């Protein structure tokens, strides 16, 4: 029978959970100091009066302080590297010179003598065209 390996049946799940939990906790025993502390506290209830906070509470606080410090260093590092990269990639635009426009008076247009005019065109047409229609009329 062939079947997909990544399909987990209910029986496999049950087995895996039991096996995993058993393996995770096997050979785990509380340290002998636990009973010593229990005994001390039940024989001397006054000890609890001074036990405002669990002896392990400092661990929680220390861990959160360390985690906060590590995060801060990471954020600073990322910020500095980003800043450094931004500076390296910065492109300085060249300073553009100021442009000053000077208005110059425009001189009067003087057309040269050979400028075509309608009158000259007419004359040229009459001279060059051999079969001038006007003559035929």
Partner 1 sequence: MSEQSEAILVSEARRGDVAAFEALYKKHNTMVFRTAYAILRDRFGAEEVTQECFVRAYRSLQTVDAGASLGPWLHRIAVNLSYNWWKNARRHWVFPLQSALREVGLGHTESPLGALQQSELRDAVVNGLALLGFDQRVVVILFYYGGFSMEEIAYILDCPVGTVKSRLHYGRCNLKRQLQSIGEALPEVAYEF
- Rank residues 54 and 88 by Cβ distance to partner 1 and give the closer one: 54
Is 43 one of the binding residues for partner 1 (CB under 8 A)? Answer: yes
The owner of tokens 């906070």 is 53
Q: Which stretch binds partner 1 (CB under 8 A): 41-49, 81-89, 99-107, 113-121?
A: 41-49
| Shortest distance (Å) from residue 93 CB to partner 1 | 46
DSSP 28: -
**CB neighbours (10 Å) of residue 41?**
13
Selected from 1, 92, 109, 110, the binder of partner 1 by CB under 8 A is 1
Residues 6+ apart with CB under 8 A from 48: 41
């Amino acid at each position: 029978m062939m079947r997909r390996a990544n399909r987990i049946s209910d029986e496999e799940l049950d087995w895996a959970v039991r096996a995993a939990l058993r393996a995770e906790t096997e050979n785990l025993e509380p340290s002998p100091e636990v009973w010593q502390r229990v005994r001390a506290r039940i024989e001397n209830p006054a000890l609890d009066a001074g036990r405002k906070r669990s002896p392990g509470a400092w661990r929680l606080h220390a861990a959160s302080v360390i985690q906060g410090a590590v995060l801060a260093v990471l954020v600073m590092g990322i910020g500095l590297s980003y800043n450094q990269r931004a500076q390296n990639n910065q492109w300085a635009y060249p300073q553009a010179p100021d442009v000053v426009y000077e208005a110059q008076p425009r001189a009067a247009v003087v057309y040269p003598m050979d400028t075509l005019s309608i009158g000259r065109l007419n004359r040229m047409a009459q001279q060059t065209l051999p079969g001038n229609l006007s003559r035929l009329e």
